[in-house]
Amino acid sequence: MSERTVHVLVSGRVQGVWYRGSTEERARALGLRGWVRNLRDGRVEAVIRGPAEAVDSMLEWMRQGPPAARVEDLQISETDEAVGGDFEVRGTGG
């Protein structure tokens, strides 16, 4: 099964609504690796790696997010960033 690594930028009401924590839970449940963090401009950034089908499932979930979130846009690009270990929540960046 082929692996896929994507970089994702999520815009909308995605901070202060448990988007990062929910993303971590969902990613771990799907057996994915990578990270998620808030950005200073109000977006959420993530890098996700795993089996292509699981990554696709994760991206579909990220279009909605947790109940309090209001996702307006998802920018997805393929990346070759090295990703290892478990999925984690990182501190604010960018």
Q: Which residues are catalytically annotated? A: 20, 38
Q: Which residues pair with 71 in a beta bridge?
A: 12
3-state helix, strand, coil in the chain (%, to 5): 25, 40, 35
User: CA-CA distance, 50 to 89, in Å (whole number)?
Assistant: 17
Nearest to 15 by CA among 58, 55, 66: 66
